[in-house]
Structure 1
């Protein structure tokens, strides 16, 4: 097993001091990098583990913050923070760009080889970075099939993969169809995977701790979704066996 180095990074965004988690792979050279967005409640130890797992695979990984260091356990507090944010593309982009600046400033990061992945609200932010034309190599989202402002999907420069649970009432069938129609009309290279029997936030082992209707953990589908996310990164942002970031 390779040695992963982690540290907390603090930076300003959205009028808050964000508290992110940076995970660095073994070695000293530049590596491809992944920006990771958390769901509405904020950063958890589970998500820190995802960043660490990506660093084990050779990526520089930054789990960015959306709530100024807070993890919401009260559903209403979480919604009061998340819903206005999701309704404001410019705020989402500001949060995403601030984190991206931190990731790019890391000496181990290959600034030309960055992907953005995210869950729920963090996935919406990843998509907004794409709609803003940020030069990403891939965008992967889980529980986030958001629709942007008219015409802006044409700015997305990379493949998009989205995963959603079949029983997710928040990411409804109608919403999925609107999302895929937007990407198709814009000529984006897109894929949508629907995980049978899974509800919203099905990837998160403690998803039931933040109780809102339609939320629940589905271990089998969570494992599959993680493998699908890794497959996207392997395709679009490969790490060579030598550890070099490639071309």
Structure 2
């Protein structure tokens, strides 16, 4: 028997993409809204998992773009749950903060200007997920989209005990002085070849910083013709080929680091 519990409806574009990942036989995918906090600030995330799994499972923390927790990360959480992972979409802004338009840029800017706060906000979600009884605490990864991709890479710099980090069309921030030596996770950076937010010079500077810390296992993949936010369905920037390829790259990467 295969069952998926009802959840708030996704947009048609997100529902169509979700349907491309079949639910595995005998799975029961459960989703729920999760209330937690960071230093007293109420946060509201989203958890998806197969409740029929009879052993602790590897887990993936998902970090949202600058619009906050919405259809894209809820869809990705369900997709990952269908692959057998415990998937938790973190809230980096606050339970009532879901900005649109120019407000989204302004909200994200608060955290780009305070990277320690951004890292700490990710850490709160990571701690919550680490303690979940369905999670294998030795097998955790973080993925993120746009702003969330940057947050994932920043969290990696804290030396958190992660198996892997995946960023999709993230802003790539090279640090000077560098703190890349603290990175313990394997990195997979998926970027667009036509992304004005992340030009070739930014990619090169980021790679050069990683090269200076030779213990880090890292990969950078660039998708031709892909602009910023190429994985966000229902927008004019969505590129289905780059999205599909980057999803497969992430899935293979997770298989490897969780093995």
Could you tell me the TM-score, scaled by structure 1's length? Answer: 0.88
Q: Does 1:193 align with 2:221?
A: yes
> Matches of residues 119-134 of structure 1 in structure 2 within 5 Å?
119-134=145-160
Contact 2:63–2:73 (Cα < 8 Å) also in 1: no
Equivalent pair of 2:99/2:107 in contact (CA under 8 Å) = no
Report runs of 4+ in structure 1 exceeding 4 Å deviation: none
Residues 10 and 207 from structure 1, CA distance in 2 versus in 1: closer, same or farther, beyond 3 angstroms? Answer: farther
The SS at the match of 1:4 is: strand
The answer on 1:35 being equivalent to 2:61 is: yes
Q: 1:132 aligns to what SS in structure 2?
A: coil
- Give the one of 98, 103, 108 matched to 2:134: 108
1:54-203 superposed matches below 5 A: 54-69=80-95, 70-74=97-101, 76-144=102-170, 145-148=172-175, 150-187=177-214, 188-203=216-231
The 5 A counterparts of 1:44-59 are 44-59=70-85
CA distance in structure 2 between the partners assigned to 1:16 and 1:199 by the alignment? 34
2 CA distance for matches of 1:85 and 1:206? 26
Question: Secondary structure of the residue that 2:37 maps to in structure 1?
Answer: strand
Q: What is the RMSD of the two structures over their aligned residues, measured on CA atoms?
A: 1.5
Partners in 2 of 1:91 and 1:147 — Cα distance? Answer: 18
Alpha-carbon distance in 2 for matches of 1:71, 1:207 = 18
Q: Larger relative contact order (C-alpha < 8 A, sep ≥ 6)?
A: 1
- Cα shift at 1:154: 0.7
Q: Is the alpha carbon distance of 1:15 and 1:202 closer, same or farther for their aligned partners in structure 2, counting shifts above 3 Å?
A: farther
Shift of 1:28: 3.0
1:199, 1:82 → 2: CA distance? 19
Identify unmatched segments of 5+ residues in structure 2: 1-23
Count, aligned residues? 230
Report SS of the residue matched to 2:76.
helix
SS at 2:252 equivalent: helix
- Distance in 2 (CA, whole Å) between partners of 1:53 and 1:153 is 31
* Structure 1: tracts of 5 or more residues without a match: 209-215, 239-247
Q: Give the secondary structure class of the aligned counterpart of 1:71.
A: coil
- Alignment partners' CA distance in 1, 2:212 and 2:109: 27
